[in-house]
Amino acid sequence: MKTTIRVLLALAICFLAYICVMSVVTPIHFENERAAREVAVAEKLTDIRTAENEFRLQHGRYTANLDSLVLWLQTGSKKEVVKEGALTEKQLEAGMTEAKAVKIIEKAKKTGNYKEVEAEGLTGFVRDTIASPVLTALFKGKYDNESVKQLIYIPYTDHIKFEAETNDNYTTSQGIRIPLVEVRAHYNTYLGDLDDQERVNLIDREEQLDHYPGLKMGDINEPNNNAGNWE
């Protein structure tokens, strides 16, 4: 009987010790894993922001259709200015500007007469506008047409897409209409396989502070320069 009691006490002590250890280890593991995952989520949101901003420049609005955004990244183009050479101090003091230099060079291209270009010392001065693939222009080789398909999926999920919303009806007090966009990933997505209680507690804390429970960039209620809530 005494032996049984001792065994049960030992087991109880071990169990309590385990509970105490896990009460410390579990939150630490959760926060460490959350921090690591949010780096990957924030990186994708930053890249989506880059794409959305360029999309707005070209179309005058944002898009809530992330599949369409990817298709545009795969097929669209972006105008870029190729710059070679620079005006010297002497040229600038003489009243030469980049705009004047471009006009002289454009005139020479049309007429085939480059005497003025040579006289003004503009040989080798280049300011050309070219169209580059938008994917290359924005991300400099970070993505190709295949890998960019993964941009719209939240890391650490089974192909769950980021949520995206737009608001094309926001008007400032001066009567200026500004398009808005918001792209987000809820804690339940990229933290879904971690400790349930820790995740529920985290969501509850953020909601009590009136914060979005997850990572997001932009805001469909007011302009915020498409800032991320992690920044």
pLDDT, tens digit, for every residue of 128-168? Answer: 788 899 999 999 999 999 999 999 999 999 999 999 999 99
Predicted local confidence at residue 67, as pLDDT: 98
The answer on pLDDT for 36 being more than 90 is yes
Residues 163 and 181 in one domain: yes
Residues 103 and 187 in one domain: no
Quote the pTM value: 0.78
Residues 62 and 90 in one domain: no
The answer to whether residue 1 is domain-embedded is: no
Residues 92 and 34 in one domain: no
Phi, psi at 114, each rounded to 5°: -105, 15
The answer to whether residue 130 is domain-embedded is: no
Q: What does the pLDDT average to over 91-110? A: 88
Q: Angle 2-59/196-208 helices, nearest 10 degrees?
A: 50
Residues 146 and 118 in one domain: no
Residues 42 and 90 in one domain: no
The answer to whether residue 21 is domain-embedded is: yes
Residues 14 and 66 in one domain: yes
The answer to whether residue 223 is domain-embedded is: no
Helix (H), strand (E) counts: the chain? 8, 5
Q: How many Cβ atoms from other residues are within 10 Å of residue 169's Cβ?
A: 10
Q: What does the pLDDT average to over 53-70? A: 97
Average pLDDT, the chain: 89
The answer to whether residue 33 is domain-embedded is: yes
DSSP assignment, residue 146?
T
Predicted local confidence at residue 74, as pLDDT: 97
The answer to whether residue 209 is domain-embedded is: yes
Look up the domain containing 91 and give its range.
Answer: 86-124
Residues 93 and 72 in one domain: no
Q: How many Cβ atoms from other residues are within 10 Å of residue 93's Cβ?
A: 9
The answer to whether residue 199 is domain-embedded is: yes
Residues 167 and 93 in one domain: no
Domain count, the chain: 2
Predicted local confidence at residue 37, as pLDDT: 97
Residues 152 and 112 in one domain: no
Residues 214 and 107 in one domain: no
Q: What does the pLDDT average to over 186-203? A: 96
Dist. CA 167–CA 134, nearest whole Å: 24
The answer to whether residue 133 is domain-embedded is: no
